[in-house]
Amino acid sequence: MHNNNNDGRPERAASGAGLSVCDTCGDSSCSATRRRSGESDQEFRERQKLEQRMCRIRRKIVVLSGKGGVGKSTVAVNLAVALVMAGKKVGLLDVDIHGPSIPTMLGLKFGSGQGVGDELLPIDLDGLKVMSLGLFLPGEDEAVIWRGPMKTALIRQFLKDVAWGDLDFLVVDSPPGTGDEPLSVCQMLGRVDGALIVTTPQRVAAVDVRKSISFCRQLRVPVLGVVENMSGFVCPHCGNITPILCAGGGQQLAEEMKVPFLGSIPMDPKIAESSDHGRAFLSHYADSPTARIMREIIQPLETLVDGSDNKTECGKEKELSNKD
């Protein structure tokens, strides 16, 4: 039987000895230890590699939205930064293939991605490990015109080949909607510890949020809560928040769907300014009222990693339903 770390995860001393961690883990219930029927050697090796990678990540949070343009990436970046500021080891993965905005938001150069051997190296930004398709595109104006299988292959590669190392949290900025791409993300991550659903206050956004919640329920992904973004406008002169769109849609919907409502983030010109200058809002404007609001929303998630269930469940099979 293998030794475990205090958190229940297998020790990794074997990796330096030229062995796969799975060779010495001893968890025979893990699906990484056995080939599935009909699986070729290569398919088995690739799946095992993916599951080994995911095994080294204690908590995986997916940031979802029913549609684009609601500030999902802003929430993902600031969640990841808040976790780093709380002393956690954090990775941020941008799999929004058609709109990878995280390099711009964090001041990373498009085309600066690097690989060594068969591994892709995340960029270390003051303790935050970042990976995005944008790092492998020549420029931010480059359109990605790919069909579904290529997108699925890319998502798999990002999860399987990125050298994350041991992480407390992986925050995944998922493509919007409830189609193939977010589905692939959730399936390949193995166990997802929770989804954060980002919406805007208008009632028209409600339908999309319902779909996102239904998506999570079908995939058995716990909904950590709904965040209403762009909820009011912060006046750059007096700092008052004016509700310019009808507010409260996110909260009402969260109550109807019986999921937690985590809070509302106002539209703050400093958020846009930070993004445009490639700086994380939460660290750059740490003392602003909006940063305080964000921290209050994010703070309950920081304790996830300290919760009673610390044991990773990589490789555990998930039953998926494709019913609507």
Cα–Cα distance measured from residue 61 to residue 223, given in angstroms and rounded to the nearest whole number: 10
Q: Which one among 4, 15, 33, 251 touches ligand SF4, defined by CB under 6 A?
A: 33
- Interaction between residue 314 and ligand SF4 (CB under 6 A): yes
Q: In terms of CB distance, is 24 or 214 closer to ligand SF4? A: 24
Q: How far is CA 49 from CA 23, 159, 161, 200, in A?
A: 12, 9, 8, 38
Q: Cβ of residue 145: shortest distance to ligand SF4, in angstroms?
A: 35
- Interaction between residue 27 and ligand SF4 (CB under 6 A): yes
From residue 45 to residue 84, the character string flagging contacts with ligand SF4 as x (rule: CB under 6 A) and all else as - is ------xx--x-----------------------------
Instruction: Give the three-state DSSP class for 207.
Output: helix
Total binding residues toward ligand SF4, as defined by CB under 6 A? 13
- Interaction between residue 21 and ligand SF4 (CB under 6 A): yes
End-to-end Cα separation, the chain, in angstroms: 42
Cα–Cα distance measured from residue 33 to residue 28, given in angstroms and rounded to the nearest whole number: 6
Q: In terms of CB distance, is 292 or 316 closer to ligand SF4? A: 316
- In degrees and rounded to multiples of 5, residue 14 shows phi and psi of -70, -25
The region of 28-36, 148-156, 194-202, 238-246 touching ligand SF4 under the rule CB under 6 A is 28-36
Cα–Cα distance measured from residue 164 to residue 152, given in angstroms and rounded to the nearest whole number: 20
- Interaction between residue 175 and ligand SF4 (CB under 6 A): no
- Pure H helices in the chain: 21-25, 41-55, 72-85, 102-105, 148-161, 180-188, 204-219, 249-256, 269-276, 281-284, 289-302
Q: Cβ of residue 193: shortest distance to ligand SF4, in angstroms?
A: 16
Q: Cβ of residue 13: shortest distance to ligand SF4, in angstroms?
A: 12
- Interaction between residue 133 and ligand SF4 (CB under 6 A): no
Instruction: Give the three-state DSSP class for 184.
Output: helix
- Position closest to ligand SF4 via CB: 25
- Interaction between residue 32 and ligand SF4 (CB under 6 A): yes
Name the token pair of 6. Answer: 């205090």
Chain contacts with ligand SF4 (rule: CB under 6 A) = 10, 21-22, 25, 27, 30, 32-33, 51-52, 55, 314-315
